Amino acid sequence: MALGIQTSSGSGDVRPYITYDAKAGRAFRIDRRQGGDGMWSSDKVDISRDLTFIADFASIKVGWINYTQQGPVRRLATLGKEPVPARPADVTSEGKPAFKQGFELTILLSNACGGGPAREFSSTAGCVIEAVDALHDAFMAAPENGQGKLPVVKMADTVPIKAGQSTNYKPVFQIVAWKDRPSELPADAGQPSAPAPAATPPATGSTVVAPPVQAAQPAAPAPQPATVSGGSDDFG
């Protein structure tokens, strides 16, 4: 597979995607729609409450991403199948590196989150990378991975992480079921990865702080061991 630049544009030919706002601890579905004048716009829908998706870890990409006003510019490689490209030398107006480490994961949202076609989930936020890293470890260690199944993932909680003077919210992802590869995901994404022991995500120097008190908010369930089953039919 060739490694090239992928950018957003003002047309409708933009792959559907979701975003995670680490500063707010919220996940959003971004829907594209075309108006009567032919122009395209984006609708931002909060799906934090019910965020559940099938994760295609067999095709996850890692490398470098630069989020620009014109859209993301990527230098990525499929994990375990291609060498990760070198970090581009581009810098910002402040002289800082423009490209940050990031990932790109293909997912299918549950019907409760809007369903639809395959979407892209990418981020360069350290706390999000750690969460997906831990989720990938769980995927690699599971026997279902060797059977070619894909995990059904739920965002069970968010954890506040203190970094300097700011606080970000790290998502807590939990594998709740397993599914055969759905038709909406490419069948040639790759052979099942060999199971591997789970590893502890790398330390980032951040400090966990107590979550803010929120009145009249039910406590989020603590992550539970992954269940091995056919999973919900709330997809497609």
Q: What pLDDT, in 10s, does the model give residues 165-197?
A: 899 999 999 999 999 999 999 876 544 444 444
Measure the CA–CA gap between 224 and 226, rounded to whole angstroms.
Answer: 6
Report the number of distinct structural domains present in the chain.
1
| Cβ count near 217 (within 10 Å) | 7
Task: Give the residue ranges of DSSP H helices in 80-181.
Answer: 126-141, 143-146
In a domain, 148, yes or no: yes
- Residues 6+ away with beta carbon under 8 Å from 64: 74, 75, 76, 85, 87, 88, 99, 100, 101, 102
In-domain check, residue 2? no
| pTM above threshold 0.95 | no
Instruction: Look at 10-24, 42-56, 140-154 and tell me which has the smallest mean pLDDT.
Output: 10-24
Instruction: Quote the CA–CA distance of 236 and 229 in Å, as a whole number.
Output: 18
Asked if the structure places residue 93 within a domain, the reply is yes
More confident residue, 228 or 51: 51
Give dist(CA 6, CA 32) in Å, integer.
18
Look up the domain containing 60 and give its range.
17-184+194-208
pLDDT tens digits along 203-224: 444 444 444 444 444 444 433 3
Stretch 75-102: mean pLDDT, rounded?
95
Amino acid at 163: A
